[in-house]
């Protein structure tokens, strides 16, 4: 048995589900004696193919020599029974392909440049995969995996079929019917999982008359049971409107529109700057019916009105805004989620026959205050978001309440030059002095987090970054005192929640037009604010926030042309390091390259400068970090804005 090969060792590793094997484990997997396995492992080690590690309290373990060389190249290891994929040093291509059918769970390793990705294929990943058929999905998997895995492919096929086992349709007499592929599915799945008031009466062995008000609950319950529902109801198309698009759509935008029109419902997931709003206007003109656009803020309502005027022939008199400042119900109405979800206003929206409802920043939809507005139904429902991920892990609600995900690989947009791929750097800074570090070390809980976030060294680093970069820059902060300090240091305005609405708009407009080169922005700039052509974004604090927040901030530089750079500042040796990696996880999953730099102390930098070096640590690729949320956040801190 001493002729056992390295390939057999890899097979044993995958079968065992561990990266290291003892001789006993190897012997069991290859059906040999331990003595023969020991001899084979020793031969492979002598040939330089395996390495061994002697552990005092455990047996000797073996691993492939080339795994120690993974810092310079990619390797994909598949564990088919667990439906997991581990990728060390994944290329942008591999990350983009995996994101089509797998979920990024975690990253491994502790040192910059040594981390790898852990992906898992869940049923919902298969159901929402952007392919016309399961054959295309499996071909994409084979293009990434080192070899075929028949059992995994069979499971994927079975999950794909589950996505079409239930459908909702409108009976010729006008009521809504839930149809199942078999009587067993209707009786043992639907009837068992749905609330009592969801079903009005059975019609046949495979069909039931359902309560139209319970449709959202039906979709959710069956989705959670493993059966996403195909919604084919004949919903209202709305009164026709006269609207043509005056802007030519890019090829990928047109594919978004075509896919949406075919499915009639879906969530467009694309990076900031890729033109989701223009694509939505293309869908609006194609649908040609009265349209309700839901947004999270007044600022976005105003921006949508401007975009409609800029890109379509719609008469401005037919466009209205409905929120705390204005109450205009028109053929095209732009309303805030909060207003649309209130009972006294919702009746007005219910009475209107909308041909299209657009859910902008659709990641808000699962939140209770926004969910009420999501119950509004129309024949066409379109969600827009760059970041569907939610820390509460209820992002699947987005797809059950609106529709399946639509979109193009982010990497495809980068490669085609439609969106400037940002250069993302996680920069770890030392403390300004020993006194500051000691204060942090003696603090605990929230106070520690605040001290790390407001490390004075960050102000110096921001000044240096802005001196080195030409063009517009945004600096994001979470603390009011820090925002004031940074604004004073770089001679810029600070926009926070305390900034009056009219002044906020003037500052944003002056930044858009180029009259201002820099702005310091609190959380009010995290999403929904149109701040184009920011060549540099610096995240100074707020690293305890969500992954979505991190992606939104980084996305402020993702525009069609020009250089785009994001620098995330974190205090070295504190929890900010892990928070920073976690916040960038969503971008890394979408194929954006993320690098890490450890900056030396001030004394070391001076000494390095004298030696004609840059005083910084090596630049390494990073991957983001685990997506588990911590309780040590800053949302309730009165100094947070």
* Distance spanning both ends of the chain, measured CA to CA: 67
Helices and strands of the chain, counted as H and E runs: 27, 27
Q: Indicate whether 460 and 584 sit together in one domain.
A: yes
**Average pLDDT for residues 468-497, to the nearest whole number?**
88
Phi, psi angles (nearest 5°) of residue 224: -65, -25
Last residue of a domain, one of 376, 410, 444: 410
Confidence band, pLDDT 50/70/90 cuts, at residue 513: confident
CA 637 to chain CA centroid, Å, is: 26
Q: Indicate whether 464 and 539 sit together in one domain.
A: yes
Angle between helices 276-287 and 251-263 (to 10 degrees): 50
232 in a structural domain: no
Residue written as tokens 């939809």? 365
The H-assigned helical ranges of 445-525 are 445-453, 457-468, 480-490, 501-513
Give which of 346, 365, 347, 345 is closest to 296, Cα–Cα. Answer: 365
From residue 243, give the alpha-carbon distance in Å to each of 181, 275, 329, 353, 379. 40, 19, 18, 17, 18
Q: What pLDDT, on the 0 to 100 scale, is given for residue 604? A: 40
**Average pLDDT for residues 7-17, to the nearest whole number?**
79
CA–CA gap between residue 8 and residue 14 (Å, rounded): 10
CA–CA gap between residue 158 and residue 134 (Å, rounded): 10
**What percentage of the chain exceeds 70 in pLDDT?**
71
Q: Indicate whether 458 and 604 sit together in one domain.
A: yes
CATH of the domain at 101: 1.10.10.10
641 in a structural domain: no
Domain that includes residue 29, residue range: 6-159
Each residue's pLDDT tens digit, 104-123: 776 654 444 445 678 889 88
Phi, psi angles (nearest 5°) of residue 333: -115, 130
Last residue of a domain, one of 410, 438, 473: 410
Q: What pLDDT, on the 0 to 100 scale, is given for residue 66? A: 64
Q: What pLDDT, on the 0 to 100 scale, is given for residue 151? A: 93
Last residue of a domain, one of 410, 432, 463: 410
Q: Indicate whether 350 and 296 sit together in one domain.
A: yes
Q: Indicate whether 524 and 571 sit together in one domain.
A: yes
Q: What pLDDT, on the 0 to 100 scale, is given for residue 367? A: 52
Residue 139 and residue 613 in contact, taking contact as beta carbons nearer than 8 Å: no
54 in a structural domain: yes
Residue written as tokens 């760059």? 386
CA–CA gap between residue 171 and residue 369 (Å, rounded): 32
Which tokens hold the place of 219?
């979709």
Q: What pLDDT, on the 0 to 100 scale, is given for residue 549? A: 44
Give which of 54, 10, 2 is closest to 29, Cα–Cα. Answer: 10
CA 470 to chain CA centroid, Å, is: 29
Each residue's pLDDT tens digit, 357-390: 898 887 665 454 444 555 565 668 888 876 543 3
Provide the number of structural domains found in the chain.
4
Q: Indicate whether 469 and 610 sit together in one domain.
A: yes
Residue 566 and residue 554 in contact, taking contact as beta carbons nearer than 8 Å: yes
Residue 234 and residue 353 in contact, taking contact as beta carbons nearer than 8 Å: no
Each residue's pLDDT tens digit, 412-426: 555 555 555 567 788
From residue 187, give the alpha-carbon distance in Å to each of 202, 210, 599. 10, 14, 63
424 in a structural domain: yes
Q: Indicate whether 449 and 531 sit together in one domain.
A: yes
Q: Indicate whether 90 and 143 sit together in one domain.
A: yes
Phi, psi angles (nearest 5°) of residue 79: -110, 85
CA–CA gap between residue 614 and residue 175 (Å, rounded): 71
Q: Which of 113-127, 247-261, 603-617 has the highest mean pLDDT?
A: 247-261
Going by C-beta distance under 8 Å and a sequence separation of 6 or more, which residues neighbour residue 113? 71, 596, 618, 620, 621, 622
Residue-averaged pLDDT of the chain: 75
Residue written as tokens 């209707």? 186
13 in a structural domain: yes
61 in a structural domain: yes
Q: Indicate whether 499 and 607 sit together in one domain.
A: yes
């Amino acid at each position: 048995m001493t002729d056992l090969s390295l390939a057999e060792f890899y097979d044993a590793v995958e079968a065992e589900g561990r990266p290291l094997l003892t001789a006993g484990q190897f012997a069991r997997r290859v059906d040999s004696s331990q003595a023969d396995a020991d001899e084979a492992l020793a031969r492979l080690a002598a040939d330089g193919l395996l390495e061994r590690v002697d552990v005092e309290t455990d047996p000797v373990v073996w691993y492939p020599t080339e795994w120690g060389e993974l810092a310079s190249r990619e390797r994909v290891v598949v564990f088919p029974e667990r439906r997991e994929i581990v990728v060390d040093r994944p290329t942008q291509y591999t990350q983009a392909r995996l994101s089509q059918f797998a979920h990024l769970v975690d990253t491994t390793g502790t040192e910059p440049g040594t981390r790898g990705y852990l992906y898992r294929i869940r049923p919902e990943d298969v159901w929402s995969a952007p392919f016309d058929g399961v054959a295309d999905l499996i071909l994409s998997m084979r293009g990434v995996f080192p070899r075929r895995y028949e059992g995994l492919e069979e499971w994927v096929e079975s999950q794909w079929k589950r996505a079409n086992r239930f459908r909702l349709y409108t009976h010729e007499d006008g009521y809504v019917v839930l149809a199942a592929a078999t009587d067993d599915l209707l009786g043992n799945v639907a009837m068992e999982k749905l609330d009592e008031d969801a079903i009005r009466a059975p019609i046949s062995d495979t069909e039931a008359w359902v309560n139209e008000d319970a449709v959202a609950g039906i979709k959710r319950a069956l989705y959670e049971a493993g059966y996403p529902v195909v919604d084919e109801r004949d919903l209202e198309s709305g009164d026709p409107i006269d609207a043509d698009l005056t802007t030519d759509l890019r090829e990928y935008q047109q594919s978004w529109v075509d896919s949406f029109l075919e499915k009639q419902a879906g969530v467009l997931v694309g990076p900031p700057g890729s033109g989701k709003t223009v694509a939505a206007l293309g869908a609006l003109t194609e649908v040609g019916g009265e349209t309700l656009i839901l947004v999270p803020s007044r600022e976005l309502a105003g921006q949508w009105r401007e975009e409609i005027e800029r890109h379509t022939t719609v008469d401005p008199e037919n466009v209205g805004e409905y929120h705390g400042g204005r109450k205009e119900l028109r053929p095209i109405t732009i309303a805030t989620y909060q207003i649309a979800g209130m009972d006294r206003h919702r009746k007005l929206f219910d009475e209107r026959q909308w041909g299209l409802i657009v859910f902008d920043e659709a990641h808000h939809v699962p939140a209770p205050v926004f969910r009420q507005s999501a119950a509004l139904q129309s024949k066409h429902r379109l969600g827009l978001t760059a970041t569907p991920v939610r820390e509460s892990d209820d992002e699947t609600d987005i797809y059950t309440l609106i529709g399946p995900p639509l979109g193009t690989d982010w990497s495809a947009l980068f490669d085609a030059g439609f969106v400037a791929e940002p250069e993302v750097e996680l920069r770890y800074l030392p403390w300004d002095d020993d006194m500051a570090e000691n204060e942090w070390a003696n603090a605990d809980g929230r106070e520690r987090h605040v001290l790390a976030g407001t490390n004075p060294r960050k102000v110096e680093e921001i000044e240096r970054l802005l001196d080195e970069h030409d063009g517009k820059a945004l600096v994001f902060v979470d603390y009011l005192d820090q925002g004031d300090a940074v604004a004073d240091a770089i001679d810029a305005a600070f926009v926070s929640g305390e900034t009056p609405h009219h002044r906020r708009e003037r500052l944003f407009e002056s930044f858009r037009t180029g009259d201002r080169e820099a702005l310091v922005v609190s959380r009010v700039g995290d999403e929904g604010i149109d701040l184009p052509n920011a060549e540099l974004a610096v995240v100074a604090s707020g690293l305890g926030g969500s992954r979505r927040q991190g992606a939104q901030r980084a996305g402020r530089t993702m525009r069609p042309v020009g250089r785009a750079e994001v620098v995330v500042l974190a205090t070295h040796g504190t929890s900010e390091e892990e928070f920073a990696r976690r916040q960038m996880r969503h971008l890394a999953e979408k194929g954006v390259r993320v690098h890490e730099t450890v900056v030396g102390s001030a004394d070391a930098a001076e000494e390095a400068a004298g030696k004609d070096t840059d005083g910084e640590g090596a630049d390494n690729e990073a991957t983001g970090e685990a997506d588990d949320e911590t309780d040590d956040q800053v949302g309730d801190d009165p100094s947070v804005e």
